[in-house]
Structure 1
Amino acid sequence: MNGLNDKTVAVTGAGAGIGRASALRFAEEGADVIVTDIAEDAGRETVELIEDDGGEALFLTVDITSQSDITAMVEEAVDSYGGLDMAHNNAAGAAGEMVPTAEVSEDDWDKELDITLKSTWRCMRHEIDAMLEQGGGAIVNTSSGAGLKGQRNVAPYSAGKHGVVGLTRTAALEYAEDGIRINAVCPGPVDTPGYSQMPDEMREKLKSNVPMRRLGDPEEMANAAVWLCSDDASYVTGMPLSVDGGIMAGR
């Protein structure tokens, strides 16, 4: 892909799943990668994988609910690599307890919205400031198919992911003239560690809802995120891109 060589990217939640696949893919395309995760061992393992393949990366422990951690992430990009060209805001919460909307506790609602939506905004505000100083950049936020359509019994998660899409579109309009492109990836069911822990019956049900009749691979989500940050997508901004095996085609 064009435009990633010698650029710097920060990837949150890069210790496993989509985040790890994204960090590895950015490194393959020549980017210097700031690998962040709340799980230190997993994040450092991602760095090792990148370095073993000849790439450049460093690890930071980042809790995305901590403003100071996010500030440190952006400052590290500037101090170590001279700026922040790209960001993949991937870390988020899980769907949590699956109950109808009226049965969601206020604590669960607040926790999910803080992790999924507010933390995406926390990351973006500092990333945008750094990109404004250097004259442009690209941001990709991880939303979900649940951010494009309703899903039963996951109200806080779905509301948060819908919010990520709205935030992405709004910021894309605000900063288009500044050369900052902001998009979202909306995965369908993906074969991540979380899905691998589900009962076989549930995994089969998820696959049966996908027109392609399979779960997605984390690498397929990473390919979309990297493409959106590349010069190959230079005229794309404000787009929630479904990578879901055809699920949204039937909506």
Structure 2
Amino acid sequence: MTRPFYGRHADAYDLLITDPVEPWVDAVHDRLGRPGAAILDAGCGTGRHAAALIGKGHRVDLADASPELLSQARARCPGARALLVDLCTMPAAPEYDAVTCRGVLNDMTTDADRESAVASLVACLRPGGLLFLDVREAAASRARAGGGRSIVAGDLTFVTRTRWQDGLIHVEERYETPGQVTTYDFTMRPWTRDELLSVLRRNGMGDVEIRDGVGRRTADRLFVVAELSR
């Protein structure tokens, strides 16, 4: 079953994910140091960040595994190439100055999937290209787990609860619309700084910078920049 957040209720995505785009996009743009970069937005969602990067003068391609989210991104970024792909196995060519990826790597819960996903992203970069990541940080994610929230977006009521067990965040989601209730449970695996450094270096990335998340309302995220060795 596809996560309803990415499928059946994808039209409510922007009402539920409201962290501001500009701080993260500004951080990426400033690190690139120039407009006109060729960027792959891997796991683009509805294209909010891609549109802002295009507004900064970059050429952005869209990539996502959800056809519903990708459709919204296409509409928001009509001139961008759109790729419906699994990020772990997407056909890659080293044609990008930068790859951006927010949140997706938290969904990789095994070492093998993590390695495959990072290798796939790195394979898209030209020598000297930059990889920008937003991931959950393990210790802060563990401290935050155990709570819940409820959001009303139009005729949708979205309820989520989390708990920590065996190094994973276990998430229970409930989607309520008139006459219908959908539930979905899944797990996420946050990252330690050492894990990030190890997997990035194994895949040829150097000059790794890891700092607190940018543009996030909660303190459980990391902003990561790494450069592909020339």
Distance in 2, matches of 1:37 and 1:50, equals: 14
Residue 5 (structure 1) aligned with residue 32 (structure 2):
no
Which residue of 2 is the match for residue 126 of structure 1?
Answer: 120
Counterpart among 20, 30, 33 of residue 60 in structure 2? 33
Question: For residue 152 of structure 2, what is the aligned residue in structure 1?
Answer: none
For residues 130-141 of structure 1, the aligned pairs below 5 Å read: 130-131=124-125, 134-141=126-133
| Residue number among 137, 144, 160 corresponding to 2:189 in the alignment | 160
Higher helix proportion: 1
Please say if residues 141 and 190 of structure 2, whose CA atoms lie closer than 8 Å, have aligned partners that are also in contact: no
Equivalent-residue separation in structure 2 for 1:188 and 1:28 (angstroms):
18
Over 3 Å counting, the alpha-carbon distance change for 1:183 and 1:29 in structure 2 is farther
Q: Map residues 49-60 of structure 1 onto 2, 5 A cutoff.
A: 49-51=76-78, 56-60=79-83
Whether the 8 Å CA contact 2:42–2:101 is kept in 1: the answer is yes
Query: What is the aligned residue count?
Result: 158
State the TM-score, normalized to the length of structure 1: 0.48
| Corresponding residue to 1:47 among 71, 74, 93 | 74
Distance in 2 of aligned mates of 1:127 and 1:36: 11
Q: Using a 3 Å threshold, how does the CA distance of structure 1 residues 37 and 188 change in structure 2: closer, same or farther?
A: same
Decide whether aligned partners of structure 1 residues 173 and 24 sit closer, same or farther in structure 2, where only a CA change above 3 A counts. same
The structural deviation recorded for 1:140 is 1.9
| 2:35–2:58 Cα contact (<8 Å) kept | yes
Cα pair 1:11 1:88 within 8 Å, conserved: yes
Letter in 2 for 1:28: G
> Residues 77-88 of structure 1 correspond to what in structure 2 (within 5 A)?
78=94, 83-88=95-100
Residue equivalent to 2:197: 169
Counterpart contact for 1:138–1:181, Cα < 8 Å: no
Do the aligned partners of residues 11 and 119 (structure 1) sit closer, same or farther apart at CA in structure 2, a change above 3 Å counting? farther
Shift in Å at residue 181 of structure 1? 4.7
- Could you give the per-residue CA deviations for residues 14-51 of structure 1, whole angstroms, max 9, x where no partner exists? 123xxx33222222222222212222132132132123
Any conservation in 2 of the 1:148–1:162 contact (CA below 8 Å)? no
List alignment gaps of at least 5 residues for structure 2: 1-29, 146-162, 171-187
Identify unmatched segments of 5+ residues in structure 1: 95-110, 191-209, 212-220, 230-235, 238-251
TM-score normalised according to structure 2 size? 0.51
- 1:189 Cα deviation from its structure 2 partner: 6.5
The 2-side partners of 1:35 and 1:185 are apart by: 25
- The aligned amino acid for 1:121 is E
Compared with structure 1, are the counterparts of its residues 92 and 122 closer, same or farther at alpha carbon in structure 2 (3 Å cutoff)? same
| Aligned partners of 1:11 and 1:36 also within 8 Å | yes
Aligned equivalents of 2:65, 2:104: Cα separation in 1: 11
8 Å Cα contact 2:99/2:121 also seen in 1:
yes
Offset, 1:187:
6.7
**Residues 141, 168 of structure 1: 8 Å contact kept:** no
8 Å CA contact retained: 1:140, 1:184: no
Higher strand share: 2
In 2, Cα distance between equivalents of 1:183 and 1:43: 29
Larger RCO: Structure 1 or Structure 2 (Cα < 8 Å, ≥ 6 residues apart)?
A: 1
CA change 1:128–1:39 in 2 (3 A) is closer
Contact 2:40 2:61 (C-alpha < 8 Å) held by counterparts: yes
